[in-house]
Structure 1
Amino acid sequence: MTDTHAPAMGPALTTLFAVGCGLIVANLYYGQPLIGLIGPELGLPAETISLVVTLTQIGYGLGLLLIVPLGDRLENRRLLAGILLARPVASMTAHLFGWRAIYAASALLMVVLALVLRRALPARHPSATMRYPQLLHSLYELFRDTPLLRRRSAYHAAMFGAFSLFWSAIALLLASPAFGYSQSGIAAFALAGAAGALCAPFAGRLADRGLTRPATGAALALAALAFVIAAIGAATTSVSLLLIAALLLDVGVSLNLVLGQRSLYALGDAIRSRLNALYMSLFFAGGAVGSALAGWAWARHGWNGVCVVGLAFALAALLYFATEFGSRRSAASRSGGGV
């Protein structure tokens, strides 16, 4: 069943949603270019410095898992470009006013945004009537009974782990004596590198043409290639190669995210919020693992260690992706058809 009396999405409401999502998700990325500043002030050892990012991702993931499913039951006003701009804005703000300023500004923005959304969001009338405990229990059932959800979540957990690892450690590399970047320089790098996320709209077009499978393979391969190039870039102190690696990684992650969402949303409107909650909380768990490993890999093995771990994330996703073709051949064989 679908929601009744679904409101039309006009340009103003679309813009509000875009701004709201951007401001909210930006909180996940402010810390990535700032861990070199925040860690020492909080007395964190090098191996655990990236927990600044990890704990934020864990909290956000729990919110996705425990709150977003309510979208299938409650009217949306009763609940709660960011990736592109969060890192450069955080670095530049820290350069001018110190790292605490970006969090103070964000806290104020969240209060204002909550008030605006409370008044501006249109009413919805979800069809689900189950109680909250039943709603949460249904998450397990959805995960158990939806192979596509398990597969797409695994792909993006690995991809987001690689993404979080890279962006949590790249600031440490750029600030090291080999590159000697200031926070403003790191901000410029982050802004240029994050431009890869602009490719997301093309993922929808690829899905519309029936190219989800090859596009997924390409996205995963781009992530693997990015870490090879990143290792070469550090070895040759080439900022250009590091920037190419950042762009390739962001393109791969953005493509895979949108392709996964498109595939899952096609499963039905009535369970869309719960599917989204499971998908995003599971891949945020992967991101939390990646960001946690960033500090350890950097402290123990330097940038090469970071690249090895990132490459392992991408290759694991590619190996799992390869099983799609084995599953298809097995199904065709059982039905007596060709591949």
Structure 2
Amino acid sequence: MKAVIGRGLFLSLLLIMIPAVYIYLFLRLSLKEVWFIFYESEFANVPLGLWILTTALVLSWGIAIWTSFIGRSKEQVIEQRLTDLIDTEHTGESNEKFSPRVDRAIDSVSNVIITQRKSLQRITDERAEAQDKLIQERIVQERQRLARELHDSVSQQLFAASMLLSAITEGNDDADTQKPLLQVERMVQQAQLEMRALLLHLRPAALNNKSLAEGLEELLMELKEKVLFDIRYRLEEVNLSKGAEDHLFRIAQETLSNTLRHAQATEVDVLFVERDGLAIFRVQDNGVGFKESDGKGGSYGLQNVKERAIEIGGTCKIVSVPSQGTIVEVKLPTRKGEDTVDQDTVSG
């Protein structure tokens, strides 16, 4: 506002003085005679001086307001372009045209900001990845150690106890003692399932340079040899990022572990396919199921599955019907071909 007032006053004074100076220089009149001409000369019964004063004021203040408006518009456009640059890493498109020097300056600022931002992001990502990798390596080592100890000690002892109880039950014809023996045998078998579920949790989540379909097939083949129920599966190769594959593999471990511990199922179907640009992973069993009101839908294992699905940009749907079974389904977008090229370029 101060700039507008200052510019208006300056232009007003300039436009009033110019006619007076011209008359004084070219007509060789004194200042008194000049002011007399301004006062005595009339047009439409209005003194010439008043016409000149009014015209000078209108023009000066009009020019002052117009130039101020133009300057403010330019400032807003530049501010918007710089704001877009900071927020979205591009200067955006504008109908306003600047001088080549201003455009070059904005482009230079744009390049500096984008370069610095990418450098900081790369440094931060590399530092976080290095730290995560170290932590994950230590976790995997500890998991493997615990899994070996449990498999070599507790799991083997439970297996031996189960075989011994089966032999005693088959050779015992006393109904009074056979019933509690059968109960103990079922308890030992349930403990075996719990141990297998625990070992499944402790299993490393890394795929070790295998595709997700190959890792799932290896996991399911191993489970088929150790459990009593039937496992059927259909697995396809799906184009996903490394992080998404690791998360989905862990989701499979969590889901199968919950099935082992709680479902009491006789059949389990596992599906991993791609449909309409979506990777679909589904585990379905014919076990006891549960009601949402029981609170099992928010249990630790299933909650982990939901959280992991969200972390990779997917969705998780859990449907369970008592006495009919449970379905756990995770969907997430597949990686497009151009994304694959970008990832390979960065990795190389």
TM interval, shorter chain, is under 0.3
Q: Name the TM-score, length of structure 1 as normaliser.
A: 0.25
Q: Which has the higher helix share?
A: 1
Structure number with the bigger relative contact order (C-alpha 8 A, sep ≥ 6) is 1
Q: Which has the higher strand share?
A: 2
Q: Which has the larger radius of gyration?
A: 2
